[in-house]
Chains A and B, each alone.
Chain A
Amino acid sequence: MIEITTPFTTQQADALRAGDSVLFTGTLYTARDAAHARLCQALAEGRPLPFDPTDAVIYYVGPTPPRPGKVIGSAGPTTSYRMDAYSPALLDRGLRGMVGKGLRGEAVVEAMRRNHAVYFGAVGGTGALIGRAIRSAEVIAYEDLGTEAIRRLTVEKLPLTVVIDTQGNNLYEIGPRRYLETARAETAR
């Protein structure tokens, strides 16, 4: 198991390959649809962002409200393709990683290659497990968006899978292909 800590540098990113399992420790910034629209609006207008994207990792999540005594509620990944329109602009400003689930568009993959960035998958539909593993959560921007506000999360050894690496290798293509090849070879035997 590969251990990753933030800041998530290009050196760490380039060493990862699609299919690697990693344990992620450090800071994640939450942002999904509405927060991405605001981040890119700020970039377009030349205003500062609420966090420095350089070597940062964004987690696509809209958590449930925390119960008393808990730092956060359920917090699994949301589907990433809805952020595709916004991701290249953030990647070009140094964003090093994204955590979500599901397919990404060609423009995002191209921006990842150009900027040495990694797309990680968290297991969709396991928000209770992930929520329980989050150590701290603090709203840092766009509080009016509720669940879609930007939060700074601290996580310790959060299990993630490298889905698309800095060379553009994609586990969503490689994984099913390898499975089918193995299954066919077994049938033929």
Chain B
Amino acid sequence: MKELSAAQITAAVRELCIEANYRLPADVTDCLRACHAAERWPVAKEILGNILDNISVAAEGDYPLCQDTGLACVFIRLGQDVHITGDLASAVDEGVRQGYRDGYLRASAVADPLRRVNTGDNTPALLTVTLTSGDACEITVAPKGFGSENMGALKMLRPSDGRDGVKNFVLETVKAAGPNPCPPIVVGVGVGGSFDKVALCAKQALLRPLGQHHPDPFWAEMEQELLEEINALGIGPQGFGGRTTALSVAIETMPTHITALPVAVNINCHVSRHARRVL
């Protein structure tokens, strides 16, 4: 049995909130560089250049990558042989509170969806804990901007809608979003499970390194097809036209009910932030 204190969790979450908001993961930066090199439409190339410049400026540490420093989506994979002294959820919230304060990040959380008073410290975190075997505690902080989050959609398709039904729903969702989610976007797709689980699949798909495909060739092929079809829509960076509408499509799947074909699409902008640490 490994002991971890609430203070260790708080310290890690604090640092991950700051790191994620100032430095993009290498896979995202590499993908943006490759798209910039491949893009031939002048306006699109110029915008991708601005995006790369923005990444350099943010890395200097004075200005976060984006003013929407997001709601703090925190994913913890907790080994069942870990014992945490203190309260896990409070420790995570305290880490978010300190990270957003000390990192000069924006408080973007309202306490009630209709009465809309800002909580002032960006808490609570959106915490998802998965129990695993072993004695590791892996913490991922993925600050999620809501310009892109608001463009997501979920539909309970019929099994007869099949492969084409899933693809059409993804394409329709991306097309309807148009310039709103700050393209080039990352598209997370969930297929299967239930109403709630399919949404989580779509969100977790956004955590996968760009360019890494689903392990099952059947789904990997669909990811590739969807990416090509999205990039044939012509939306382009910021919606001003061009090839680079999406950087990546990642699909996560689950077994589902004999009556069901749930599909969820969770869109992320090009500022596809996440930072991870194992305690």
Contact = CB atoms under 8 A, between A and B. Distances in A.
A65 B106 contact: yes
Given A131-B63, A171-B240, A64 B178 contact: no
A180 interface: yes
Interface in A48-89: 61-67, 70, 73-76, 78-79, 81
A128 B64 CA distance: 6
Of residues A121, A175, A180, which shows the largest number of chain B Cβ atoms within 10 Å of its Cβ? Answer: A175
Contact of A179 (B41, B54, B106, B118): B41
Given A125-B54, A129-B53, A79 B147 contact: yes
Contacts of B68: 62, 76, 78, 127
Contacts of A66: 104
Interface string B125-159: 00000000000000000000101001000000000
A165 B164 CA distance: 38
A38 interface: no
A85 B50 CA distance: 31
Interface stretch (B193-201, B216-224, B229-237, B253-261): B229-237
Given A62-B106, A101-B179, A124 B41 contact: no
Given A124-B269, A129-B57, A74 B67 contact: yes
Given A64-B67, A147-B118, A179-B242, 16 more contacts: A63-B106, A64-B106, A67-B62, A74-B58, A78-B68, A101-B180, A102-B178, A103-B180, A123-B54, A123-B238, A125-B54, A127-B68, A128-B63, A128-B65, A146-B118, A172-B178
B178 A147 contact: no
Given A101-B179, A121-B238, A128-B58, A176 B233 contact: yes
Interface residues of A, number: 45
Interface string B232-254: 01111011111100000000000
Contact of B241 (A121, A127, A129, A176): A176
Contact of A73 (B43, B64, B120): B64
Interface residues of B, number: 47
Interface string B42-55: 01100100110110
Q: Across chains A and B, which 9 residue pairs bring their CB atoms closest together, nearest first?
A: A175-B241, A179-B241, A124-B182, A128-B63, A102-B180, A176-B234, A126-B54, A127-B67, A180-B234
Nearest to B61: A67
Contacts of B269: 124-125
Given A132-B63, A177-B234, A73 B241 contact: no
A185 interface: no
Contact of A74 (B65, B108, B180, B241): B65
B64 A74 contact: yes
Contacts of B47: 123
A175 B236 CA distance: 9
Interface string B18-53: 000000000000000000000001011001001101
Of residues A76, A101, A183, which shows the largest number of chain B Cβ atoms within 10 Å of its Cβ? Answer: A76
